[in-house]
């Protein structure tokens, strides 16, 4: 378990001394694997994740490091949490043996498993979020055997868009598609030299950092705040990777737009510190074979 002093030092570290997992391995390199959202959205069940895991093995991708099988949104009961424990409840229609049962099956394949939640009241699809429940949820995921957390940015309560929270969108990435991406409630662009690590956005995501570090299990922390609040300037202090833009789509112009933007932010990348250009769209949409190969190659660099 981390000491209090080490935890504080980690949260204040620079990119050169990023948030390092207790095992010294988790998050050192970018996570490779498969995520359900781009292909299936909310139409998910255990069988699809077991099939994806087997495909990673059969195609030789697991041997190349593609070992994460990540559950995205819509895995839980939408109506709310357990009245007694306040835990998020898995949808047992989709996951008959619970998420812990699916996790065991994925681990038995020699692979790792990821889960999804949100630093807001609800997820982007309207399921229970984790804001104010960070300790409960982190402990639950550790107990279930989760290896990776994708942490999204929907349904942010009004108290987190007031006070010192300046224009949370990137001034040089004006491409709003998410529900909060227009930043209509913000008072304007931050002044020159503003320390975004002190912002309300950073506060929301650091709450989960603290909760994850309390666990005895190493969980890779993937921050998905759509590149808002200059996340690249402090992301290494509180997580292992961070999304740099809004959602990707299987359209070549979108793919190029994202890779071009990220190409100017490579100075923020290091061990345990990774800009996230969002998930691959290989096999989705109308990308040509040439575009698909280029997309795949660019995302591996």
Predicted local confidence at residue 47, as pLDDT: 98
Active site residues: 152, 247
Q: Is the dihedral of CA 72, 75, 80, 86 positive or negative?
A: negative
Rounded average pLDDT per 10-residue block, the chain, 301 residues: 40 58 93 97 98 98 97 97 98 98 98 98 97 98 98 91 64 41 52 86 96 97 93 96 94 93 92 95 94 92 66
pLDDT at 168: 62
Burial level of 143, CB count in 10 A (0-12/13-18/19+)?
middle
State how far the Cα of 192 lies from the Cα of 171, in Å rounded to an integer: 12
pLDDT at position 160 is 84
Two tokens, residue 225: 């705040």
Top-level CATH class of 4-299?
Answer: alpha beta
At which residue do the structure tokens 């995501």 appear? 205
Query: What was the pLDDT predicted at 192?
Result: 77
pLDDT for 10: 42
* Measured CA angle at 77 (ends 76, 79), to 5 deg: 140
pLDDT score at 13: 41
**CB-neighbour burial class of residue 165 (10 A; exposed 0-12, middle 13-18, buried 19+):** buried
d(CA 181, CA 152): 13
| pLDDT computed for residue 167 by the predictor | 62
pLDDT at 228: 87
How many Cβ atoms are within 10 Å of 156's Cβ, its own excluded?
24
Contacts of 273 (CB under 8 A, 6+ apart): 15, 18, 19, 235, 236, 240, 241
């Amino acid at each position: 378990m981390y000491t209090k002093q080490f935890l504080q030092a980690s949260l204040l570290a620079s990119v050169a001394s990023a948030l390092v997992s207790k095992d010294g391995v988790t998050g050192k390199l970018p996570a490779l694997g498969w995520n359900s959202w781009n292909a299936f959205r909310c139409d998910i069940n255990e069988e699809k994740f077991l099939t994806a895991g087997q495909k990673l093995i059969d195609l030789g991708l697991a041997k190349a490091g593609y070992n994460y099988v990540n559950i995205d949104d819509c895995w839980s009961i939408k109506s709310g949490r357990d009245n007694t424990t306040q835990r998020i409840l898995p949808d047992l229609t989709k996951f008959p043996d619970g998420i812990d049962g699916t996790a065991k099956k994925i681990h038995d394949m020699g692979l790792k498993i990821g889960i999804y939640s949100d630093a807001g009241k609800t997820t982007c699809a309207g399921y229970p979020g984790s804001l104010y429940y960070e300790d409960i949820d982190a402990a639950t995921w550790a107990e279930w055997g989760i290896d990776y957390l994708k942490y999204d940015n929907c349904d942010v309560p009004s108290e987190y868009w007031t006070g010192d929270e300046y224009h949370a969108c990137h001034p040089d990435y004006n491409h709003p598609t998410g529900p909060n991406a227009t930043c209509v409630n913000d008072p304007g662009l931050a002044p020159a030299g503003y320390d975004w690590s002190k912002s309300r956005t950073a506060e929301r995501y650091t709450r989960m950092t603290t909760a994850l570090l309390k666990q005895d299990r190493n969980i890779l922390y993937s921050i998905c705040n759509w590149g808002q609040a200059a996340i690249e300037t402090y992301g290494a202090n509180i997580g292992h990777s961070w999304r740099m833009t809004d959602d990707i789509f299987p359209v070549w112009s979108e793919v190029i737009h994202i890779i071009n933007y990220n190409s100017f932010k490579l100075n923020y990348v290091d061990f345990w510190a990774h800009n996230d250009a969002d998930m691959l769209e290989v096999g989705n949409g109308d990308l040509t074979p040439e575009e698909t190969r280029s997309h795949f190659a660019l995302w591996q660099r």
